[in-house]
Amino acid sequence: MDLIDDPAPGQNAPEFTVSEISGAVKRLLEGEFGRVRIRGEVGRTLLARSGHLYFDLKDDRAVISAVSWKGQVARMRVRPEEGMEVVAVGRLTTYPGQSKYQLIVDEIAPAGVGALMAMLEKRKAQLAAEGLFDAARKRPIPYLPTVIGVVTSPQGAVIRDILHRLRDRFPRRVLVWPVVVQGERCAPDVARAIAGFNALDPAGPIPRPDLLIVARGGGSLEDLWGFNEEIVARAAAASKIPLISAVGHETDTTLIDFASDQRAPTPTAAAELAVPVRLELLAGVAGLGARLSRAAVQGITQRRQRLRDLARALPRPEDLVTRQAQRLDGLAVRLQTALGFRVERARTRLDGFGRRLNPDHLGRGVSRHRVLMEDRARRLATALPRVARQARQDLGRLGGRLTPASLDRCLSRERDRFGVVSARLSRAARTRQDRLTQRLASLTRMHRSLGYTQTLKRGYAVLWDENDKVLTTVAKASEAVGLVIELADGRFKPNGSGTPRAPRQKPDPEDQGSLF
């Protein structure tokens, strides 16, 4: 349809309305360019409340306005940020309400890996300057956590690999927080999952994990870009629960790796870092138990051998007793013989003294003994001062040694010995008294159970004669003049002339009886 009308009379140029001109420009621009790819630097950006994203693409000489609708923004792998160099794919159109043209962006990608890496390095430097990556704030990983929280996608090989590795090494309770691991929702989902695990009550129905694992499989830099977002790095740094990041493969590095407490090259390696090998622990415990048993057996064996060696060095008790018994027998024989000889010799001397004992001999003997006594008296008088001095010196030396402290020690030692001996004697006396008391009680019970009075209570009887002798045969009973039958409650004569009387009590041997 041709929008150019015929000119009015007297006019060379036709007249158009504003809408007609705007529509014509729109059709011309869209028909001429259609779908285009534009490379440029992202200028100002604005995310409207409706979810639409408005931003500028510029170079050193021109600026183009760009817009992405809400559905397109949700499909973006990388959201444009100011200063990022990108390649935008979309279609050129106009916005008649402001008389400007704009680019409706369907897809946007960084202009090469270098741009993403530059933006990543800039963000990394900013977070490092704030101290989020400091080694001092990293917490140690618990040796054997009871509950492990895993932040990952519930569909995929990552969660299966983690669960399989945990089951092989040391089965633990696992709580999975499902998240989107790629795209626009990845970063907020992961941040909310980390904060949600930290907000759990340790005593609540859902236990709070002792360790967190944030895991994702490998991918390109764009696929892993959600884990480079600032919100994820700050959530990992603020986590009170120790966190292991296992995003991508070993060569992949994201900002959450620097903010986490420990980085694992793969999700499987994260499960290996989380728990030890149960079989290795059992083997270690068994090894330690075996070493303990061997050490105990070896110690007992060495002490038993030492005891045998010491026992071999000691004489046997039989040898000591036998030798002393033989010596005692020999001394007894010698003593008996010596006593006989001594008695015989004393008798012989006594006879000799008796023969020599006459008045003349007695007088000479007295004179001789008087001389001897006087001589001994003179020698004693001479030696007495020397002996007195020596005795005085010995007494002074012994007095110096006999100090009150030594006397106290001797008295204390003797008192302790006396106390020990007294306690032993008391225990021995009590033990003997208890043993004799128990024996007496046992004999009393036996006497009561075996005595004939208990038999009488069971319906038996005892026959006595008039002299109180027990009749045990029929012959003795027929010869007896008077019979007395004793039952349990007394005695009586079989002819009925007597009345039953109580059994005769035997006198107590210790009771001397009455003197009146």
CATH of the domain at 145: 3.40.50.261
- The total number of structural domains that make up the chain: 4
Q: Residue 411: is its pLDDT beyond 90? A: no
pLDDT-derived band at 2 (thresholds 50, 70, 90) equals very low
- Both 122 and 271 in a single domain? yes
* Beta strand pairing call for 53-58 and 35-47: antiparallel
Average pLDDT over residues 447-465: 78
Strands lying side by side in the sheet with 490-492: 462-464, 484-487, 490-492
Same domain, 66 and 122: no
Q: Provide the pLDDT confidence category of residue 314 given band limits of 50, 70 and 90.
A: confident
Top pLDDT among 508 and 242 is at 242
Contact indicator for 14, 4 with CB cutoff of 8 Å? yes
- Give whichever of 167-176, 214-223, 451-460 has the largest mean pLDDT: 167-176
State whether 31 and 179 are in the same domain. no
For residue 443, is it within any domain? no
β partners of residue 93: 102
Based on the fold, state whether residues 271 and 195 are members of the same structural domain.
yes
Q: Same domain, yes or no, for 123 and 260?
A: yes
DSSP-derived letter for residue 78 is S
Query: Which DSSP helix (H) or strand (E) runs through 353?
Result: helix 317-356
The pLDDT assigned to 510 comes to 46
Q: CA 279, CA 267: separation in Å to the nearest integer?
A: 22
Determine the average pLDDT of the residues in 123-151. 89
User: What is the Cα–Cα distance from 116 to 254, expressed in whole angstroms?
Assistant: 12
Q: Do 96 and 132 have their domain in common?
A: no
Residue 212 lies in a domain: yes
Domain-located, residue 448: no
Cα distances (angstroms) measured from residue 73 to each of 53, 69, 159, 183, 238: 7, 6, 29, 10, 29
301 and 234 both lie in a single domain: no
- The answer to the question of residue 255 being in a domain is yes
User: In angstroms, what is the C-alpha Rg of the chain?
Assistant: 62
Task: Write down the pTM of the prediction.
Answer: 0.44
Is residue 406 included in any domain, yes or no? no
Q: What angle do CA 260, 227, 85 make, to 5 degrees?
A: 130
Q: Are residues 238 and 172 in the same domain?
A: yes
Task: State residue 209's pLDDT score.
Answer: 93
User: What's residue 512's pLDDT?
Assistant: 45
- Asked if residues 248 and 216 have their Cβ atoms less than 8 Å apart, the reply is yes
Range with the lowest mean pLDDT among 220-234, 315-329, 356-370?
356-370
Residue 344 lies in a domain: no
How far is it, in rounded angstroms, from Cα 331 to Cα 46? 128
Is residue 222's pLDDT more than 60? yes
Q: Is 153 contained in some domain?
A: yes
Q: Tell me which of 448 and 96 has the higher pLDDT.
A: 96
One domain, residues 62 and 137: no
Higher pLDDT residue, 206 or 353?
206
pLDDT band at 370 (very low <50, low <70, confident <90, very high): low
Task: Report d(CA 157, CA 165) in Å as an integer.
Answer: 12
Q: Are 194 and 149 in contact (CB under 8 A)?
A: no
In this prediction, residue 452 carries a pLDDT of: 73
pLDDT of residue 358: 55
Domain-located, residue 133: yes
Could you tell me the residue range of the domain that residue 28 belongs to? Answer: 18-111
Residues 260 and 181 occupy one common structural domain? yes
Q: Which amino acid is at 490?
A: G
* Pairing, β 53-58 against β 63-68: antiparallel
Asked if residue 368 has pLDDT above 80, the reply is: no
Give the residue among 322, 324, 345, 342 at the shortest CA–CA distance from 334. Answer: 342
Mean pLDDT across 59-70? 87
Domain boundary among 88, 111, 134: 111
User: For residue 350, how many C-alpha atoms fall within 13 Å in the half-sphere facing its CB?
Assistant: 6
The CA angle 401-405-411, to the nearest 5 degrees, is: 100
3-state SS, 458-477, equals: CCCCEEECCCCCECCCHHHH
Domain match, 94 and 225 both: no
**Mean of per-residue pLDDT scores for the chain:** 80
pLDDT band at 193 (very low <50, low <70, confident <90, very high): very high
Picking from 483, 476, 488, the residue whose alpha carbon sits closest to that of residue 452 is 488
Is residue 493 within 8 A of residue 481, CB to CB? The reply is no
In the listed set 259, 276, 293, which residue is the last one of a domain according to the structure? Answer: 276
The answer to whether 253 and 244 are in contact (CB under 8 A) is no
User: Could you count the other beta carbons within 10 Å of the beta carbon of residue 172?
Assistant: 19
Cα separation, 271 vs 222, whole angstroms: 26
Whether residues 128 and 249 share a domain: the answer is yes
DSSP conformation letters of 268-283: HHHHHHHS--HHHHHH
454 or 514, higher pLDDT? 454
Taking the alpha carbons at both ends of the chain, their separation in whole angstroms is 169
Domain boundary pick from 77, 111, 145: 111
